[in-house]
A and B are shown apart, each in its own frame.
Chain A
Amino acid sequence: MSSLRASWGILRMQLVSKVQYRAAAWAGMTTNAFWGFVHVIIILTFYRFGQQSNAGTSAGMSMVQAVSYVWLVQVLITLLSGTILDNEIREKIRSGDVGLELCRPLDLYAHWFARTAATRLGPFLLNVVPITAVAMLLPEPYRLQPPASLAALLSSMVAVMMGLLLCCASVGMAYVLLMRVQWGEGPMSIFTVLIDILSGAYLPLQLWPGWAQRFLMLQPFAGIYDLPLRLYVGTLAPSTVWQVLLIQAGWLVVLVAVGWLAMRRALTHMVIQGG
């Protein structure tokens, strides 16, 4: 509970500081929009001019749905990206201030989990409206479509919230790797990139090779971007939301349990850096 209260404070601080640095926020959003636009162009090119131009539709994803998916990844990137780590936690591990964190009467894992969620919600709340608006106002082939139905919107929103928890649990494992100060940095980066790839941030998982589909749908990271976005664009019916939530919740329990135990183990080997 106290972790929750602390993270509410962090969220408020985040919002205030982001609003202060407006130019930086706008620059970030421009970059986001550019990135999204380029990815939309790439995916459109394949749907329109590829040799088997119906290969996407036969995989269950139409051109319009794929374009919306790519935009939604950009809208959600500040919330769900695996490669964004909280700089303060990073710096604490590097400088040895974790020692100070351990003095707090909070469970370190829960505290960092809540903190990570808060630092993601702040930028997301500021970005979501402008980027969605820009993406929806673009001319026809490039634009983000409204959700398939109201039920699709609601079910995808619930799934996105679960996705955030799943993402924080995955990033929690990355922090545990970072706590091995001498060698952790490299494996941590590889792990976070892997999260992004398998969560469908690079390409909708449905457009990956057919033989891998079953595995892709059931692996832990599909629940971060891919499954919630399937609900939004309508490649999964809103009634399947229960199955999606079940997959997400199952992996959430596993990731939290492994992360919590690994952190406890890492703390016994912890090297406090600095002086």
Chain B
Amino acid sequence: MNDFMLYTRYLRINFLAGLQYKGWPMQILMVLFIVVTDPLGVVLLFSRFGSIGEWSVERTMLVYGIALTAFGLAELFSRGYDAFPWQIRTGAFDRMLLRPRSTIVQVLGMRFHLHRLSRVAGGSCIIWWSLARQGVSLGLLGLVQLLFALVGGYLVYTGVFIASSAVAFWTIEALNWVYIFTNGSYQVTKCPPQLLPGWLRNSFTFFMPMFVFSYYPAAAICGWGEVPVGLGWLALPAGAAFIAVAFALWRVGVRFYASTGS
């Protein structure tokens, strides 16, 4: 059985186990409520102050929606990494090392929460709404570009999870900062990138390439003409490069692992 089959089996088992909790439809609603109300502040600001130059509420919400959906995908399919520091703390990672299978696949498949689907669904609705309001009809090319953007974003956020888990091999205490690159990162898209301070824009372009998989593809699909169209295709390579670095960090971390717990 190859690694991918093993991963899908993990997900299937976790999924079926999740269905046993009869409260799951309520949990989906609950996350959906959190997702839908998160952009409330910025939407109210748009309704009071009007657009910011070219940037209407639809435009801003498109970039936001892509980042949000990508994060949702990572939460849905790579959630296991989120719970990883706990594995280190309890020493449960030892068991994984004993199994003759990839540790990455085992950690990835450790958790799967159905209610995380809400963020993907909510984000997709935001994307669809903002495209419709802007009168952009997705051609085949645009659709492919959008999918690449989401997959690229999924890879980046999974990379963030993996990198933060790698850090957990050294310290499980100071992991709060990772919020800056997960839930905090898509908050940044509520402001037009040109108006952000340079260092903030650059760190979310070159260090953690969020604008590469959200803003660039959005600009290319809708033809905003602010960035060269070719940059819209960078999402996938950027995501692949980011996750490769994260994997390398993970490998180093595993080598340094000394068991804890009993």
Interface residues, chain A, CB within 8 Å of chain B?
Answer: 21, 23-24, 26-28, 30-31, 34-35, 38-39, 41-43, 45-47, 49-53, 55-56, 59, 182-183, 185-187, 189-190, 193, 197, 202-203, 207-209
Contact = CB atoms under 8 A, between A and B. Distances in A.
Interface stretch (B22-30, B151-159, B224-232): B22-30
B29 A209 contact: no
Given A38-B184, A38-B188, A185 B176 contact: no
A207 B41 CA distance: 9
Given A35-B187, A46-B45, A193 B176 contact: no
Interface of B: 22-23, 26-27, 29-30, 33-34, 37, 40-42, 44-53, 171, 173-177, 179-180, 184, 187-188, 190-192, 195-197, 200
A81 to B, nearest CB: 14
Nearest to B25: A186
B118 to A, nearest CB: 11
A38 B37 CA distance: 18
Given A45-B195, A189-B34, A193-B34, 5 more contacts: A27-B174, A41-B196, A45-B191, A49-B195, A187-B30
B26 A26 contact: no
Contacts of B175: 27
Contact of B174 (A23, A55, A186, A202): A23
26 contacts: A21-B173, A24-B176, A26-B174, A28-B176, A30-B180, A31-B176, A31-B177, A38-B188, A41-B196, A45-B195, A46-B48, A49-B52, A49-B195, A50-B45, A50-B50, A50-B52, A182-B22, A183-B26, A185-B26, A185-B27, A186-B23, A186-B27, A190-B29, A203-B40, A203-B45, A209-B47
B48 A209 contact: yes
A139 B256 CA distance: 42
B59 to A, nearest CB: 13
Contacts of A26: 174
B179 A31 contact: yes
B40 A202 contact: yes
Nearest to B187: A38
A45 B188 CA distance: 12
Contacts of A190: 29-30, 33
Contacts of B50: 50-52, 55
Contacts of B34: 189, 193
Given A202-B41, A203-B44, A209-B44, A51 B51 contact: yes
Contacts of B173: 21, 23-24, 27
A255 B200 CA distance: 42
Given A34-B180, A185-B27, A207 B44 contact: yes
Contacts of B176: 24, 27-28, 30-31
A51 B30 contact: no
Contacts of A59: 48
B85 to A, nearest CB: 11
Contacts of A207: 44-45, 48
A38 B199 CA distance: 12
A102 B110 CA distance: 36
B30 A53 contact: no
B192 to A, nearest CB: 7
A209 B47 CA distance: 8
A42 B57 CA distance: 13
Nearest to A142: B197
Report the 7 A-B pairs with minimum CB-CB distance, sorted nearest first: A50-B49, A51-B50, A186-B26, A27-B176, A203-B41, A27-B174, A202-B41
